[in-house]
Amino acid sequence: MSHQASFQKLKEYAQSQIIGQPKLINRLMIALLADGHLLVEGAPGLAKTRAIKVLGDCIEGDFHRVQFTPDLLPADLTGTDIYRPQDGSFKFQQGPLFHNLILADEINRAPAKVQSALLEAMAERQITVGSKTYTLPSLFLVMATQNPIEQEGTYPLPEAQLDRFLMHVTIEYPDAQAEKEILHLNRNEARQDYSEPSTESIVISQSDLFSARDEVLDVHMTENLETYLLELVLATRKPEAYGKDLENWLEYGASPRASIALDRCARTYAWLDNRDYVTPDDIQAIAFDVLRHRIILSYEAEAEGITTDRFINELIHRVAVP
């Protein structure tokens, strides 16, 4: 079975287990194949935890969930040196960050020191405890969640740390038909709790995953499309070329990380669609999730009720498509 067929099978299985959230499934798979991290924002109960757990069950590796709270310490993530009185030595006890798939639940509930410990691990793929540095697994994906409803007592992520996430995905409530299917799935799973657990044969090895990542990098993008991709990112820094209104809406534009992320994600989006070439539609489809957290709007824009998604949508309509 080809790598594309394996991931198509994984996608179909995930959609059978996570009803009404096809976008979240797609973005999780893109993050996995593009070797990046995901920030997901949505109301409680929208299957954010379930999504990455299902993915973890189908990928060779281990999954760990960390509930972020105000009393969390950096050592609760990285691990710490444990004193052994029998021989007077210290032994390093690994923390949750040494797993392959990490769910950082409600990341904005924890203070800045904890957030920075996680973001350092995401960026450097290593952690430092005392004077020693420890390398994290080759397969390392963090999905962090934020609850948009309750903001009291939270610690918003600084823009420089938000930039480390490959994508910022917002998810909505499922429609009526999807919610009906959720009821049926929940009843079936409740019955299975009293029977033998079902075994799922979909398991993608890490070697196959790394090979698939190489295939994604080989997806063809024409020079014209590469120029278009860069023009979209550059337009977030100098929007005056596309209208005075856009210039007034913007405070700061996207960093070069946005160009890298847009390139990787557009190639992955095309690969998951069983194509070996990128189209303008691929770039536009993923642009919102790549740019949403990398743009800072002006006070005037916020006063007018302009959102980052509205700004990105205007850019897509105004930047010429090759």
- Of residues 227 and 2, which shows the higher confidence score? 227
* Predicted confidence (pLDDT) per residue in 234-276, tens digit: 999 999 988 888 889 999 999 999 999 999 999 999 999 999 9
- The Cβ of residue 119 has, within 10 Å, a number of other Cβ atoms equal to 24
- If you average pLDDT over residues 169-192, what whole number do you get? 87
| Separation between Cα atoms, residue 262 and residue 77, nearest integer Å | 29
Q: What would the pLDDT profile of 35-81 be if each residue is shown by its tens digit?
A: 999 999 988 888 888 999 999 899 999 999 999 989 999 999 999 88
Place 2 in a pLDDT band, splitting at 50, 70 and 90.
confident
Mean pLDDT in residue range 154-173: 89
The pLDDT of residue 232 = 95
Pick the CATH number of 218-318 from 2.120.10.30, 3.30.420.40, 1.10.8.80, 3.40.50.2300: 1.10.8.80
pLDDT of the residue at 1: 65
pLDDT value at residue 151? 65
The contacts of residue 88 (CB under 8 Å, 6+ apart) are none
Residue 86 sits at the vertex; the CA angle it makes with 84 and 88, to the nearest 5 degrees, is 55
**Residues 232 and 319: beta-carbon distance below 8 Å:** yes
CA separation, residue 265 to residues 8, 78, 290 (Å): 17, 29, 8
Could you tell me if residue 91 is left (phi over 0), alpha (psi between -120 and 50 degrees) or otherwise beta?
Answer: beta
Summarize pLDDT for 134-143 with one digit per residue, the tens.
999 999 999 9
Tell which residue, 250, 260, 249, has the closest CA to residue 286. Answer: 260
* pLDDT score at 158: 84
pLDDT score recorded for residue 199: 46
CATH of domain 3-192: 3.40.50.300
Q: Where are the domains of the chain?
A: 3-192, 218-318
